[in-house]
Structure 1
Amino acid sequence: MSYDVTDVGNACVRTLSKLDYSSNNVANVNTPGFKAEYLNYSVEKSSPTTSDKVPSYAQSLFTDYSQGTLQRTDNSLDFAIQGEGFFVLQSDNGIAYTRKGDFTLNEKSELVTKSGDYVLGKSGKIILDGKDIHVDQSGSIQVDGNQVDSLKIVSFENPEVLIHKGEGVFKDNGNGVVKKDFTPNVLNESLEASNVSAIKEMIQMIDIQRTFETYQKLIHTISDQDKLSTGRIGKLV
């Protein structure tokens, strides 16, 4: 199989795209509830298989939903989910989901994310107007000894269809299937740490950079060969 500069250039672009995701993982190594993302490329089934043609590639994004370490914070507005599940949010663009449980209160004493999205309970927006806030493992919320609501937490049969919109917030692409009879395990005054392994990501970034450098050298080699061939043809003419 022969490659030209365009083919190798496309390989460079794919490599840089993978590097972008690894870099983003490293940047979020200390972000609560962050889930590592990886960009993969595979040869399309319909791609040509003859030796004289370059195959085409399909891009896929994989999100690692494995559990991050649970850390005690002693902040009554911090929440972590042990096991599967997502907190349900009401954003300006509709319903969203997150594992990032470092919540706060707005001026109306409503529970919100740091970016202002409403954290939903089973009765809608959650109002925590009191001093003593307690949430049990099921997500039931008590304020000054009175139950006011329960955190709305859902789990998906197919979480791979969720789309990461940034800031640890996910949206359903319309194909998500919510599990029935799901019972969450909530930890109050705790946060789930990012599941990114800094060492693993740094090793992967080094490998990606080396691959990119190899492609760059190949481009220079192809360019030099083209110039040599053009020069020979010129002499023959």
Structure 2
Amino acid sequence: MSEVTTQISSSINALMREFDIITHNLANVSTVGYKRRCNAFSKSLESQKAGRQSYSPGVIDVVSEFDFSQGNIVETGRDLDFALYGRGFFVIETPSGPLYTRNGVFRINSNGQLVDSSGRIVAGSAGPITIPANILPSQISITGDGSIGAGEVALGKFRLVDFRDDEKKLVPAGDNCYRMPQKDITPVSAENIIVKHHYQEASNVNMIDEL
């Protein structure tokens, strides 16, 4: 394949990838806590030739990454809606390891545990968050740091984590969740984050910007 043909093919593939990402973003404009994807275009493979036996000048290299900027906080009035304002994630426990999400639309399962929409346990700082059967969702209150209670009864505290500069290394895990890549990155306790009760974080997709 000639150098010109390679460059044209690369450009077409990059545009198709960009179109796929825009389509995916627009499909999730109403998804709670969704973070838009964007393409980070390198200047050229020419700038990455170190360590490679051959390269084609001008070939576009495309890297997809997430934009974790804050979405709008929208009041819903629902007793088990929680929104994060600031950097950080809720932790969801699964048999294959923890997942991380900004979607704080939760419910209570038959065991009284706080779970996500797929029935997976929402992690607390000391294990699952359990709501006794005699406490109604409408009685639940929460402080900005994620501590949950009902009157004088302490029910637990959300485990909230941050990845700081490594958050863009998170891998999509489906259902608006992320997981750590095989090359471990270390989560830390989230700081400067506020949990808002009766609110949801809207998608950070801006339809005008996407179009």
Scaled by the length of structure 1, the TM-score of the pair is 0.75
- What is residue 135 of structure 1 aligned with on the other side? 142
User: Cα 1:39–1:195, aligned 2, differ >3 Å: closer, same or farther?
Assistant: same
Indicate if the aligned counterparts of 1:135 and 1:141 stay in contact, CA closer than 8 A: yes
Indicate if the aligned counterparts of 1:133 and 1:141 stay in contact, CA closer than 8 A: yes
Deviation at 1:2, TM superposition (A): 5.5
Deviation at 1:14, TM superposition (A): 2.2
Q: What percent identity do the matched residue pairs reach?
A: 28
Indicate if the aligned counterparts of 2:145 and 2:194 stay in contact, CA closer than 8 A: yes
Indicate if the aligned counterparts of 2:82 and 2:104 stay in contact, CA closer than 8 A: yes
- What is residue 177 of structure 2 aligned with on the other side? 169
Where in structure 2 are the equivalents of 1:20-99 lying within 5 Å? 20-42=20-42, 43-44=44-45, 45-47=47-49, 53-99=56-102
Where in structure 2 are the equivalents of 1:197-208 lying within 5 Å? 197-202=206-211
Indicate if the aligned counterparts of 1:81 and 1:187 stay in contact, CA closer than 8 A: yes
Mark the runs of 5 or more structure 2 residues left unpaired by the alignment. Answer: 51-55
Greater share of helix residues, 1 or 2?
1
- What is residue 126 of structure 1 aligned with on the other side? 129
Deviation at 1:94, TM superposition (A): 0.7
SS in 1 for 2:20: helix
User: Cα 1:35–1:181, aligned 2, differ >3 Å: closer, same or farther?
Assistant: closer
Paired residues in the alignment total 197
- What is residue 106 of structure 1 aligned with on the other side? 109
For the residues of structure 1 that align with 2:162 and 2:147, how far apart are their CA atoms? Answer: 17
Mark the runs of 5 or more structure 1 residues left unpaired by the alignment. Answer: 203-237
Q: Deviations over 1:132-172 (max 9, x none)?
A: 11111111111353002101101122211111222220111
Q: Is 1:192 aligned to residue 201 of structure 2? A: yes
Scaled by the length of structure 2, the TM-score of the pair is 0.84
For the residues of structure 1 that align with 2:186 and 2:210, how far apart are their CA atoms? Answer: 31
Deviation at 1:7, TM superposition (A): 4.5
